[in-house]
Chain A
Amino acid sequence: MAERPEDLNLPNAVITRIIKEALPDGVNISKEARSAISRAASVFVLYATSCANNFAMKGKRKTLNAGDVLSAMEEMEFQRFISPLKEALDAYRREQKGKKEASEQKKKDKDKRTDSEEQDKIREDDNDEDDERMEEEEQNEEEEVDN
Chain B
Amino acid sequence: MADGFGCKEKCSDQRLVSLPLSRIRVIMKSSPEVSSINQEALVLTAKATELFVQYLATYSYKHGSGKEKKALIYSDLSNTAEESETFQFLADILPKKILASKYLKMLKEEKGEGDEEEDEEEEEGEDEDEDDESEDEEAES
Q: How far is the CA of A1 from the CA of B71 in the complex (A)?
A: 38
B19 touches A10 (CB 8 A): yes
Q: How far is the CA of A20 from the CA of B58 in the complex (A)?
A: 10
Nearest residue, chain A, Cβ from B52? A44
Q: How far is the CA of A85 from the CA of B45 in the complex (A)?
A: 9
Q: How far is the CA of A68 from the CA of B1 in the complex (A)?
A: 23
Residue of A40, A69, A78, A85 most packed against chain B (CB within 10 A): A40
Which positions in A face B, CB cutoff 8 Å? 1-2, 7-8, 10-11, 14-15, 17-19, 21-24, 26-30, 32-33, 36-37, 39-50, 52-53, 57, 62-66, 68-70, 73, 76-78, 80-81, 84-85, 88-89, 91-93, 95, 99, 120, 123-128
Chain A residues in 8 Å Cβ range of B8: 126
Taking the complex as formed, is B30 at the interface, i.e. its CB lies under 8 A from any CB of chain A? Answer: yes
Q: How far is the CA of A28 from the CA of B81 in the complex (A)?
A: 20
Which positions in B face A, CB cutoff 8 Å? 1, 6-11, 16-20, 23-24, 26-31, 33-38, 40-41, 43-45, 47-58, 60-61, 69-74, 76-78, 81, 85-86, 89-90, 93-94
Also in contact, A49 and B51, with CB within 8 A (given A37-B77, A40-B90): no
B6 touches A99 (CB 8 A): yes
Q: How far is the CA of A15 from the CA of B49 in the complex (A)?
A: 10
Query: How far does the Cβ of B93 sit from chain A's closest Cβ, in whole Å?
Result: 5
A32 touches B73 (CB 8 A): yes
Chain B residues in 8 Å Cβ range of A24: 70
B33 touches A23 (CB 8 A): no
B57 touches A37 (CB 8 A): yes
Chain A residues in 8 Å Cβ range of B37: 49, 63-64
Query: How far does the Cβ of A124 sit from chain B's closest Cβ, in whole Å?
Result: 5
Chain A residues in 8 Å Cβ range of B94: 36, 39-40
